[in-house]
Amino acid sequence: MEIGSVIAVSVSKEKGTKKVNVEEAEFTKEFGIVGDAHAGKWHRQVSLLAIESINKIKQKLPDIVPGNFAENITTEGINLVLLGIGKKIKLGEDVLLEITQIGKECHARCEIFRLVGDCVMPKEGVFAKVLKGGKVKAGSKIEVIVT
C-alpha cells in the first residue's frame, strides 16, 4: 500500500486564482471542499499536486508555495500521475476521493508559465470527486486504496 501525507490544504473564493492555505478543510460528498470555488456537482471537485512537482518549479521561482498552482491538496510521497483514473485515495481518517482526471488543458497561460516558461499543473496535477466527506488538514495521512 502506498502511503504519503498532506503537505497543505488550500482554498479560493474564485476560480483562476492562487489558493490560500488553511489549517483544515471540510470535504462534502459529491460536492468538494466547503468554501472552495471549484466545489460543485462535477468531476473536478478537488485538485491535487505533489510537492515533488512544485519543487521542480521552485528551482526557478524560489518563492512559490503550496496553493500557488490553484491546487487544493499538496501531497508528498505519492506519485499522483501514476494512480490512474478510477483509483481511490483516503485522506486523513474519513475522506475518500476517486481520481477522475489526470492533467488538464491550460487555456490561458498562468502567471507561473509566463514567469518560468513551464507549469506542472497541466501535466502532473490530478482531479478527484469526493466519495466520502470529512475533514483534512496538513499532516494528514494519504493512503492509496488497493482494490
- CA atoms of 24 and 30, how far apart (whole Å): 19
**Angle (nearest 5°) at CA 27 between 21 and 29:** 155
CATH code of 61's domain? 2.40.33.20
Kindly tell me if the per-residue pLDDT of 106 is higher than 90: no
Range among 110-119, 122-131, 132-141 with highest mean pLDDT value = 132-141
Q: Give the separation between CA 133 and CA 147, rounded to whole angstroms.
A: 20
- Please tell me what DSSP assigns to residue 60: T
pLDDT score recorded for residue 42: 95
Model pLDDT, residue 25: 98
Span 36-61, average pLDDT: 91
Is 46 in contact with 71 (CB distance < 8 Å)? no
DSSP output for 66-132 = TTTT--SEEEES--GGGT-TT-EEEETTTEEEEEEEES---SS--HHHHHHS--SHHHH-EEEEEEE
CA 136 centroid distance within chain: 12
Domain range for 45: 3-145
Count of structural domains within the chain: 1
